[in-house]
């Protein structure tokens, strides 16, 4: 560890102006106060500051390639009182030709910390603003904030997020670190300060969204600036779609999109699965192999975003009495789930930008006034939108309407579709520590069986004899485990159940399992290596079960057995209800995100298809397919996605590529890898439409995920690449079918 105090004065060539309300705590260029500067696995190789290409003067700090090299500033004695400050400000510049990740930690005298991870781009210096009270874009209602750095008042600002808590009257240090650098990394720093107002923060979110729902902070080729441009884009697209649809007609597909090539399969009148020559297939009602190329959330209501309480974020929202005021509504997504925690602006009045843009494109103007009837909720020509959307999807090579698509498509009989089962009720539930969309339903609770029976009966009521329906998804991204590889995450279901009271059926089932095996507390204590003086102690709420360990292998075996029985009870309950109410349709699995081997094995036993949401560059990066092969079940990729930050929405989604032009190749590589895996029977893109830049209603996600923008304008380069890959997939399937059997 190197400890040094900077010299009292350094030559000043140029210094960036201070923001109003900003106080300098310490200057690395012109020190005016004494601060203890300590480095660990880092150093300042030059005695003097250096001038950048822009004429600014900063000090170079080199962070060595170790786990956590750091630069720490502390008062010479006692603690700093930062209670008047709202932001910690750092004048920084990457000393490399690439972006740096910088961790900032503010520590108080009681050991509590406030932390921030800063993505510092390459280029000129900027002022990084770290909120001293935990704050992130979720505080403004969205998953990701506007692009940074941002020019405000002539200065480049980077508004960071922060988490944790610190006593601002007793700050003992602030540290900067570059996590795990592969090579030595240089950071240039000029000063550390405090900002006592949040005017810059408010300005960053002011008038952020234009009247079409687009970001005001950038320009891109598909950005719309007028109603006329919207209509012109729709008309301009028609000849291309017509030509592509004509090409599709020559592919030799059956009405459902199945490939009419190679040996025939038995036609059973509904979709089914079959394994032939070592490869799994979906088979259409007419008896032809079908590779499901789908799109999720093809619906006109995906552009809804909360506006109440943050009206200043939006430019040109329609006023009362204007035609587009028909697209306001009311909602409440404050559901208590992890997905809504920490997020503000999650209930109240919303506006639907996508439907408003469809109104602009397709409908005659609707003038509502005091004497006339109000505009209808969806004033645009829905039939025209539906036909245009189906033309698009088929022209782009898709053949399946994925989960959460608009129910009106079901009657068009142009494209097979899937449906979700929504099982809701007053049954007991268990926390696994994840709970993103809610706690796990307790399948041992009789009320869960009743809720399942009711949900399946309702879902199957109008679809029992529809050959266009492929099947039903059991649910979506249930919290079978918590993220991470540690035992508390892996066995979150077992730990969570044992913490509950015995009025929860799953807890009673687990205790019965243990009592049947060990008979009494002495047998359990010996097997688990614990001191359990009375069996009743396990019945207490909050019971903390032991972690699995090599000395007591029965602990892990018991957890695995319980989680296996739990999963089998869950999937059997759904399968039994579906076999009764909808025997003609497939059970398409649970759309796993977090999963356990027990849950996947149980799903394979009771479902026709295993479904996974894979947010990776290729399916094989997300799961061990050798293990899946042992289950011998077809697999559907029920979600995958690639996004970038250069088309308006601020979040690229879970899988980011550098720019829009890379989304198409990423799609093609993923689909090629999926086709190479003989158990995969399809892949569904998430999703049709970009999410609102200001955050969707459900959880504030605001990703560039779409085939089309919130204006309904398609991304031409992307859809052309997607179409090419989809057609290649059909051609590859045809080639496989025409090969002689081995």
Q: Are strands 635-640 and 680-685 parallel, antiparallel or unpaired?
A: parallel
pLDDT-above-90 percentage for the chain: 84
pLDDT in tens, 474-508: 999 999 999 888 999 999 999 999 999 999 999 99
Q: What is the pLDDT of residue 27?
A: 87
Q: What is the pLDDT of residue 128?
A: 97
How many CA within 13 A on the CB side of residue 678?
13
Q: What is the pLDDT of residue 15?
A: 46
What DSSP state is assigned to residue 84? Answer: T
How many CA within 13 A on the CB side of residue 52?
24
For residue 97, pLDDT over 80 is answered with yes
Q: What is the pLDDT of residue 277?
A: 93
Mean pLDDT, rounded, for 545-561 = 96
For residue 1, pLDDT over 70 is answered with no
Q: What is the pLDDT of residue 49?
A: 83
Residue 454 burial by Cβ neighbours in a 10 Å radius (0-12, 13-18, 19+):
middle
Q: Confidence class of residue 229 from pLDDT cuts 50, 70 and 90?
A: very high
| Dist CA 496 CA 492 (whole Å) | 6
pLDDT in tens, 398-441: 999 999 999 999 999 999 999 999 899 999 999 999 899 999 99
Q: What is the pLDDT of residue 606?
A: 98
CB atoms within 10 A of CB 629: 13
Yes or no: say if 60 and 40 are a contact pair by the CB < 8 Å rule. no
Mean pLDDT, rounded, for 250-254 = 94
Mean pLDDT, rounded, for 134-143 = 95
pLDDT in tens, 105-130: 999 999 999 999 999 999 999 999 99
Q: What is the pLDDT of residue 262?
A: 78
For residue 373, pLDDT over 80 is answered with no
pLDDT in tens, 297-306: 999 999 999 9
Whether this prediction's pTM lies above 0.75 is answered by: yes
Return all residues near 185 (Cβ < 8 A) that are at least 6 apart: 62, 63, 95, 96, 100, 178
Q: What is the pLDDT of residue 607?
A: 98
Mean pLDDT, rounded, for 51-64 = 92
Yes or no: say if 573 and 580 are a contact pair by the CB < 8 Å rule. no
- Ordered DSSP codes for 362-403: HS------SSSPPPPSS-S-HHHHHHHHHHHHHHTT--EE-T
For residue 180, pLDDT over 50 is answered with yes
Which architecture characterizes domain 2-204 according to CATH?
A: Sandwich (2.60)
Mean pLDDT, rounded, for 537-552 = 93
Q: Confidence class of residue 136 from pLDDT cuts 50, 70 and 90?
A: very high
For residue 563, pLDDT over 90 is answered with yes
Q: Confidence class of residue 261 from pLDDT cuts 50, 70 and 90?
A: confident
* Residue 630 in tokens: 């042992």
Return all residues near 565 (Cβ < 8 A) that are at least 6 apart: 509, 513
pLDDT in tens, 340-353: 999 999 999 999 99
Q: What is the pLDDT of residue 264?
A: 85
Q: What is the pLDDT of residue 362?
A: 84
pLDDT-above-70 percentage for the chain: 94
pLDDT in tens, 726-742: 999 999 999 888 876 65
For residue 590, pLDDT over 60 is answered with yes
């Amino acid at each position: 560890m190197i400890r040094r105090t900077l010299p009292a004065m350094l030559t000043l060539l140029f210094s960036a102006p201070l923001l109003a309300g900003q106080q300098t705590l310490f200057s690395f260029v012109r020190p005016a106060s004494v601060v203890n500067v300590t480095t660990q696995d880092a150093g300042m190789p030059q005695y003097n500051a250096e001038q950048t290409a822009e004429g600014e003067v900063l000090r170079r700090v080199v962070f060595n390639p170790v786990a956590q090299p750091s630069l720490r500033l502390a008062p010479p004695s006692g603690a700093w009182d930062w209670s008047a400050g709202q932001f910690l400000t750092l004048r920084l510049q990457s000393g490399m030709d690439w972006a740096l990740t910088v961790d900032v930690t503010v520590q108080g005298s009681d050991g509590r910390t406030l932390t921030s991870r800063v993505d510092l781009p390459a280029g000129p210096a900027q002022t990084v603003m770290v909120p001293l009270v935990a704050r992130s874009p979720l505080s403004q209602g969205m998953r990701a904030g506007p692009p940074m750095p941002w020019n405000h008042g002539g200065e480049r600002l980077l508004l960071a997020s922060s988490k944790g808590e610190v006593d601002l009257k007793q700050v003992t240090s602030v540290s900067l670190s570059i996590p795990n650098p592969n090579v030595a990394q240089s950071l240039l720093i000029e000063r550390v300060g405090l900002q006592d107002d949040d005017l810059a923060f408010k300005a960053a979110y002011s008038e952020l969204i234009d009247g079409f729902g687009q970001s005001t902070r950038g320009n891109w080729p598909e950005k719309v600036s007028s109603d006329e441009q919207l209509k012109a884009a729709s008309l301009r697209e028609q000849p291309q779609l017509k030509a592509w649809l004509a090409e599709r007609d020559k592919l030799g597909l059956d009405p459902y999109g199945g490939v009419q090539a190679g040996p025939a399969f038995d036609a059973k009148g509904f979709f089914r699965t079959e394994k032939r020559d070592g490869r799994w297939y979906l088979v259409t009602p007419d008896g032809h192999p079908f590779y499901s190329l789908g799109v999720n959330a093809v619906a006109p209501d995906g552009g809804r975003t909360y506006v109440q309480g943050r009206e200043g974020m939006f430019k040109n929202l329609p006023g009362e009495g204007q035609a587009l005021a028909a697209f306001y509504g009311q909602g409440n997504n404050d559901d208590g789930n992890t997905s809504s925690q920490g997020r503000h602006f999650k209930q109240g009045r919303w506006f639907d930008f996508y439907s408003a843009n469809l109104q602009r494109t397709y409908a005659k103007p609707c003038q509502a006034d005091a004497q006339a009837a109000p505009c209808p909720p969806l004033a645009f020509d829905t039939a025209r939108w539906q036909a245009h959307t189906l033309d698009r999807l088929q022209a782009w090579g898709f053949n399946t309407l994925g989960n959460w698509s608009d129910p009106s498509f079901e009657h068009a009989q142009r494209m097979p579709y899937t449906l979700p089962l929504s099982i809701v009720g007053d049954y007991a539930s268990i926390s696994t520590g994840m709970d993103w969309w809610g706690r796990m339903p307790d399948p041992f609770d009789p009320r869960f069986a009743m809720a399942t029976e009711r949900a399946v009966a309702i879902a199957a009521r109008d679809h029992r004899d529809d050959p266009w329906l492929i099947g039903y998804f059991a649910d979506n991204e249930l919290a079978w485990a918590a993220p991470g590889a540690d035992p508390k995450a892996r066995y979150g279901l077992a730990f969570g159940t044992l913490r509950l009271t015995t009025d929860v059926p799953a807890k009673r089932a687990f205790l019965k399992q243990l009592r049947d095996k060990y008979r009494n507390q002495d047998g359990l204590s010996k097997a688990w290596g614990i001191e359990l003086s009375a069996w009743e102690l396990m019945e207490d709420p909050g019971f903390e079960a032991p972690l699995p360990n090599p000395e007591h292998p029965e602990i892990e075996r018991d957890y695995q057995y319980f989680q296996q029985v739990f999963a089998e009870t869950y999937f059997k309950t759904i399968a039994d209800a579906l076999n009764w109410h909808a025997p003609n349709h497939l059970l398409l699995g649970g759309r796993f995100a977090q999963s356990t081997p027990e849950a996947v094995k149980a799903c394979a036993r009771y479902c026709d298809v295993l479904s996974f949401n894979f947010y990776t560059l290729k399916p094989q990066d997300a799961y061990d397919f050798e293990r899946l092969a042992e289950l011998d079940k077809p697999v559907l990729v029920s979600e995958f996605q690639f996004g970038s930050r250069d088309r308006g929405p601020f979040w690229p989604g879970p899988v980011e590529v550098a720019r829009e032009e890379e989304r198409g190749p990423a799609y093609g590589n993923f689909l090629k890898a999926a086709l190479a895996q003989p158990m995969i029977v399809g892949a569904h893109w998430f999703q049709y439409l970009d999410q609102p830049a200001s955050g969707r209603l459900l959880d504030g996600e605001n990703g560039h995920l779409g085939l089309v923008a919130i204006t309904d304008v398609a991304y031409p380069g992307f859809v052309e690449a997607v179409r090419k890959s989809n057609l290649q997939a059909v051609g590859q399937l045809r080639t496989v079918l025409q090969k002689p059997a081995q």
